Amino acid sequence: MHTSFVIAAATVTLSACAPGRPAARPDRVDSPVALTILDQREVRWQQEEWGAMTAVLEGKEPFDAPKTFTFLVKFPPNFRIPLHSHLTTERFVVASGAVYFGHGDREDDAAARKVGQGAVVIVPAGLKHYGFTTDSEAILVVHGVGPHNAP
């Protein structure tokens, strides 16, 4: 089954629209963005050396600055994301398919929870977690504030 999704990201400076609103601050964590509306047919996937495919929507890889980032990640069928953690909170939404998500000091597939299309997961900084797909691919929308490290 081929699922369609649309991703929209925008930064709006309200001071131009509403009098009395403060101007955007240069010390903000927001990455510079333009209005982006992207249909899945327009995604430019990049093969990663660790096996998944990604498409950056916001921010600049390797996401080492304290700025926002948003990217898509596509996991193929029967793919495993090994136990790892991140320096900052990571948020993801399952755009299509399903992944199994687990956390703790070791991988335990029986304890992993299946999260399907539309599910939202917020992973605190430093939490060890892992994931895997089974017989179908999954696409996630990942968002956070750098620095962010790949699994």
- For the domain spanning 6-19+28-145, the CATH number is 2.60.120.10
CA 81 to chain centre: 14
pLDDT digits (tens, 9 = 90+) for 80-119: 999 999 999 999 999 999 999 999 999 999 999 999 999 9
Our CA angle for 13, 16, 20, nearest 5°, is: 100
Spatial strand order of the sheet with 46-47 comes to 46-47, 53-58, 68-75, 138-145, 90-96, 120-123
Query: In the beta sheet, which residues pair with residue 115?
Result: 99
Query: In the beta sheet, which residues pair with residue 91?
Result: 122, 143
pLDDT digits (tens, 9 = 90+) for 10-40: 333 233 334 454 555 556 788 888 888 888 8
pTM flag (> 0.75): yes
Burial of 18 by CB count in 10 Å (0-12 exposed, 13-18 middle, 19+ buried)? exposed
**Alpha-carbon separation of residue 16 from 13, 24, 26 (angstroms):** 6, 10, 16
Domain boundary assignment for the chain: 6-19+28-145
